[in-house]
Amino acid sequence: MLSLFLKCTLGAAVVLLIAILSKSKAFYIAGLVPLFPTFALIAHVIVFQQQGAEALQKTALFGLWSLIPYFVYLLAVYLLATKMSVLSCLSLATVCWVIAAAGLIYGWQMFQH
């Protein structure tokens, strides 16, 4: 129960930090905060413990390729932000991310076997 409370507190602190930064002169830094590799660190420890160093290396390589869907998402947001409502913009950008991520997973599975 304490672990869950600490995770919730950490999540709330991150949201608070994003809210504070978004109101500052350096508002763009708010986009960097969620990219701190919290979940990647957890995933990497678990993969290493269960699969070893070679699997960790492949996981890191896939992580590098996974920047492509994020790039597609950000590009869509950049291109659409001034052309439609925020809800439409973010929804369409998310669809673009899903399509790019599905393509990445499909391609990875095709070339890794």
Interval 68-108: pLDDT, tens: 999 999 999 999 999 999 999 999 999 999 999 999 999 99
pTM equals 0.82
In a domain, 25, yes or no: no
Cα maximum dimension of the chain = 48
Does any domain span residue 84? yes
User: Could you list the residue range(s) of the whole structural domain that residue 57 is in?
Assistant: 53-113
Inside any domain, residue 62: yes
Instruction: Classify residue 76: in a domain, yes or no.
Output: yes
